[in-house]
């Protein structure tokens, strides 16, 4: 069987010692898991390695760690796959003199380390889950018997229900890295589970709360890390975008964070111009050039604008007017589609993918 080298980050905050890296070599099949390797090392070499684990079947969500820089469950990541991850990067340097593939195992990010690979899920993850009222608020009167929910509504929330609370998405959330108060991907995905449930009585209240919170739905920076991190296909960022869609388009919640205004200003801008006119978008995102909210923003951007004008990056013509206007066909698409009473959406998590098409001419040429 092939050998793998595991570099495990060891740290005990209470000891006063700095973190260190321990290296162990294991002899295991490529399709055994990183957790198998860690448990073998614990059994054979060093029983003091701290890791949380239980089911070993990717359902309890206990064994979230970072492997070669990427978060996931140690129990459902094959050694072979972990070794391949981040190949050639700092975590997994190119094979210069290395005899065996290296897998660097670290605790998850954005959460304090309790010991070695164990992070404090309470301090960050669970607090944020509690923040979003993670239970159903019944409509009154509660039906005496079963509450019949339309099938399509239930299918709609199954994606968020697949979450096993492992924290992998929280670990690599880039918005949380700069704003630790951001409610974050796991909790917001949980929030959609109730906003998408027709039995819940407080959709508007929930959305209002999540939109008005400066660390709420409009703090997500679209980095897609949570989508790649999730071992269960929850796609938390997509759920956050759905929360925004429902808050902005169905409930017209005009939040204090400019989320609603920015979205509507953007749509209006493209409907009018076809191509984005940035000089209009900025003030419009704050409510318009003469809005008291926009004035400090516009003043603070004056030095940048002056430099940009001086360098020819912007010209008075591109700032004041826009050389491009949307063709009438584009305007018509906006009016027809955006004017529909019911939005038409495709959720690939529910519909699945049709078989790949035969290679087309363009693909062959490329």
Partner 1 sequence: MRVAYWPGCVSRGFTPELHGSMAKVAPLLDIELIELDRAACCGAGVIAEHNQELADTLNARTFALAQQTDGELMMNICSTCQGAQSECQERLDANTDYREHVNSNLSDEGLRYERGLSNKNFLWLLVENIGLDELKSRVKRPLTDLRVGPFYGCYIVRPVDRLGVDEEHPRDRYLHWVIEALGGTVIDYAGVYKCCGFPIITMSKEASLKQAGRHLGDAIDADADCLVVPCPLCHLNLDLQQPVASKVVGRELGMPVLHLPQLVGLALGLSPKELGMNKHIVRPTSVIDWSTSVVAGAPS
CA distances from 269 to 246, 276, 324, 326 (A): 21, 6, 11, 10
**Under rule CB under 8 A, how many of the chain's residues touch partner 1?**
82
Per CB under 8 A, contacts with partner 1 among 231-250 are 241, 244-245, 248-249
Q: Does 20 bind partner 1 (CB under 8 A)?
A: no
Binding to partner 1 (CB under 8 A): which residues in 40-99? Answer: 84, 87-90
Helical residues (DSSP H) of the chain, grouped into ranges: 34-44, 79-84, 127-131, 151-161, 168-171, 174-178, 185-195, 203-212, 225-229, 236-245, 259-273, 278-285, 294-300, 302-311, 316-320, 328-338, 348-351, 361-365
Among 23-31, 102-110, 161-169, 277-285, which window interacts with partner 1 (CB under 8 A)?
277-285
- Scanning residues 164 to 203, which ones bind partner 1 (CB under 8 A)? 174-175, 177-179, 182
Q: Does 127 bind partner 1 (CB under 8 A)?
A: no
Q: Which of residues 209-228 bind partner 1 (CB under 8 A)?
A: 214, 218-225, 227-228
Applying CB under 8 A, the span of 109-117, 141-149, 160-168, 310-318 interacting with partner 1 comes to: 310-318
Cβ-defined contacts of 343-349 (< 8 Å, 24+): 343/245, 343/249, 347/156, 347/159, 349/158, 349/159, 349/233, 349/235
Which residue's CB is nearer to partner 1, number 206 or number 242?
242
Shortest Cβ 125–partner 1 spacing (Å):
19
Minimum CB separation of residue 270 from partner 1 in Å reads 5
Residue 365 Cβ vs partner 1, minimum distance, rounded to whole Å: 5
15 binds partner 1 (CB under 8 A): no
Nearer to partner 1, 97 or 312 (CB): 312
- Based on the shown chain and the rule CB under 8 A, indicate whether residue 314 belongs to the binding site for partner 1: yes
Please report whether residue 303 would count as binding partner 1 according to CB under 8 A: yes
Is 11 a binding residue for partner 1 by CB under 8 A? The answer is no
Long-range contacts of residues 279-288, Cβ cutoff 8 Å, at least 24 apart: 279/314, 279/318, 279/319, 279/320, 279/322, 280/322, 285/258, 285/261, 286/258, 286/261, 287/258, 287/261
Residues in contact with partner 1, shown as a per-residue x/- string from 323 to 352 under the rule CB under 8 A: -x-xx-xx-xxx-xxx-x--xxxx-x--xx
* 257, 291, 298, 349: which one binds partner 1 (CB under 8 A): 257
Q: How many CA atoms lie within 13 A of 346 on its CB side?
A: 4
Using the rule CB under 8 A, is 155 a contact of partner 1?
no
Contacts 24+ apart (CB under 8 A), 42-45: none
Q: Contact between 131 and partner 1 (CB under 8 A)?
A: no
Instruction: Tell me the angle at which helices 328-338 and 259-273 cross, rounded to the nearest 10 degrees.
Output: 140
What is the smallest separation between the CB atom of 29 and partner 1, expressed in angstroms? Answer: 20
Q: Is 63 exposed, middle or buried (0-12, 13-18, 19+ CB in 10 A)?
A: buried
Cβ-based nearer residue to partner 1, 150 or 323: 323
CA dihedral 193, 160, 150, 352 (to 10 degrees): 150
Which residues sit opposite 4 in a β-bridge?
26
Give the CA distances from residue 263 to residues 137, 314, 328, in Å, rounded to whole numbers and listed in that order. 29, 24, 22
**Nearest approach, Cβ of residue 356 and partner 1 (Å):** 9
Q: Which is nearer to partner 1, 137 or 314 (CB)?
A: 314
Among 47, 97, 312, 316, binds partner 1 (CB under 8 A): 312
What is the closest distance, in whole angstroms, from the C-beta atom of residue 5 to partner 1 in the complex?
Answer: 21
């Amino acid at each position: 069987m092939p050998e793998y080298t595991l570099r495990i980050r060891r740290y005990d905050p209470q000891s006063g010692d700095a973190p260190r890296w321990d290296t162990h070599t294991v002899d295991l099949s490529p399709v055994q898991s990183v957790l198998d390797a860690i448990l073998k090392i614990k059994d054979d070499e060093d029983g003091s390695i701290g890791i949380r684990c239980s089911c070993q079947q990717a359902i309890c969500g206990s064994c979230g760690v970072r492997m070669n820089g990427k978060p996931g469950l140690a129990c459902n990541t094959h050694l072979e796959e972990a070794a391949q991850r981040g190949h050639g990067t700092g975590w997994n340097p190119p094979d210069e003199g290395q005899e065996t593939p290296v897998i660097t195992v670290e605790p998850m990010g954005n959460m304090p380390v309790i010991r070695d690979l164990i992070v404090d899920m309470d301090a960050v993850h669970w607090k944020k889950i509690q923040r979003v009222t993670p239970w159903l608020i019944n409509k009154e009167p509660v039906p005496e018997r079963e509450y019949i929910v339309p099938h399509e509504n239930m299918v709609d929330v199954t994606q968020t229900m697949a979450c096993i609370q492992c924290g992998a998405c929280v670990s690599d959330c880039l918005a949380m890295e700069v704003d630790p108060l951001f409610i974050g991907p796991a909790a917001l995905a949980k929030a959609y589970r109730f906003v998408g449930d027709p039995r819940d009585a407080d959709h508007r209240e929930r959305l209002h709360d999540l939109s008005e919170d400066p660390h709420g739905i409009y703090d997500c920076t679209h980095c897609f890390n949570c989508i790649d991190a999730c071992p269960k296909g929850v796609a938390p960022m997509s759920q956050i975008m759905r929360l925004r869609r429902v808050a902005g388009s169905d409930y017209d919640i005009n939040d204090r964070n400019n989320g609603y205004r920015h979205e509507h200003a953007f749509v209006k801008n493209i409907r009018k111009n076809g191509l984005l006119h940035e000089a209009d978008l900025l003030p419009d995102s704050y409510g318009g050039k003469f809005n008291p909210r926009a004035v400090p923003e516009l003043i603070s951007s004056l030095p940048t604008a002056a430099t940009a004008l001086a360098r020819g990056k912007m010209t008075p013509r591109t700032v004041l007017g826009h050389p491009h206007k949307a063709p009438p066909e584009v305007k018509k698409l906006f009016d027809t589609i955006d004017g529909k009473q019911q939005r038409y959406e495709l959720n690939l998590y529910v519909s699945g993918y049709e078989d790949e098409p035969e290679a087309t001419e363009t693909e062959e040429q490329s």
